[in-house]
Amino acid sequence: MDQGSFFEQLRDANRDRWNASVNHRFVQELFAGSLPDDVMRHYLVQDYQFIDRFVALIGAAVASADQFASRVVLTQFAAMVTSEENTYFQRSFDALGVPEADRLSPRLTEPTRGFRDLMSEAADSRRYANCIAVMCVAEGLYLDWADQPERPLPPRFEHAEWITLHANDGFREFVGWLRSELNRLGETQLDAQARDEAAAFFARAVALEEAFFDGAFQIG
């Protein structure tokens, strides 16, 4: 990807926080298979609370997209989130002994509430670029930390499959598409004000991702 692309400009502007998440203690312990069960349980319970808002964000992107081809890609990805990824959560909750109440209506941490609100705000803006900017962070940052093929996978499926869900050919292709889509919008569709608005959504999402990783260890 060209160094001067819109996506690269946004990631470079938030590079310190982006890298803090990619290299986070949570990621290191996940790959090592040493992440404590209570941390993994807390993290997954909170992360699961994004699915409904995230699917709504995808729906808003579908509705506001400027071309049919984009709608096709997004609807295909929504199908994966509501099937394969949702199944992983349920299996992991069973393995980690998460009660039904915590699966459906846990007490939300501040980063979880913040990210849910950000997704809703991007969806409610009815601006395609804002939706794609948030998705570029929510999915692209996860690809960057998970896509480490030189590292062996941990033995437990709760750890290993969370990595492979975010490091496979289909996911790489989708993240590449998101980044190219954000570039297309930034370079051909957005005026200066709209670019700034999308950039603000991107920056807020990066900050919330770092806070969300930090929050995995703040249990109680």
Per domain, the residue ranges of the chain are 6-215
Mean pLDDT of the chain: 94
CATH topology of domain 6-215: Heme Oxygenase; Chain A (1.20.910)
- What mean pLDDT is predicted for residues 88-115? 94
Is the pLDDT at 41 greater than 50? The verdict is yes
Closest CA to 185 of 3, 56, 61: 61
> What pLDDT sits at residue 51?
86
Is the pLDDT at 3 greater than 60? The verdict is no
Closest CA to 166 of 106, 35, 97, 77: 77
- What mean pLDDT is predicted for residues 120-129? 96
- What mean pLDDT is predicted for residues 208-215? 96
Neighbour count for residue 129 (Cβ, 10 Å): 27
The Cα 108–Cα 63 span in angstroms is 29
> What pLDDT sits at residue 132?
98
The Cα 84–Cα 100 span in angstroms is 20
- DSSP assigned state of 47: H
DSSP 161-198: HHHHTTSSHHHHHHHHHHHHHHHHHHHHT--HHHHHHH
- What mean pLDDT is predicted for residues 91-109? 94
pLDDT digits over 166-197, tens only? 999 999 999 999 999 999 999 998 999 999 99
Is the pLDDT at 220 greater than 70? The verdict is no
Is the pLDDT at 145 greater than 50? The verdict is yes
Distance of CA 124 to the CA centre of its chain: 18
**Alpha-carbon distances, residue 91 vs 29, 59, 158 (angstroms):** 21, 26, 8
> What pLDDT sits at residue 2?
44
Q: Cα-flanking dihedrals φ and ψ of residue 52, to 5°? A: -60, -50
- What mean pLDDT is predicted for residues 56-83? 92
Percent of the chain with pLDDT over 90: 88
Is the pLDDT at 1 greater than 50? The verdict is no
> What pLDDT sits at residue 98?
96
> What pLDDT sits at residue 10?
97
> What pLDDT sits at residue 218?
87
Percent of the chain with pLDDT over 70: 98
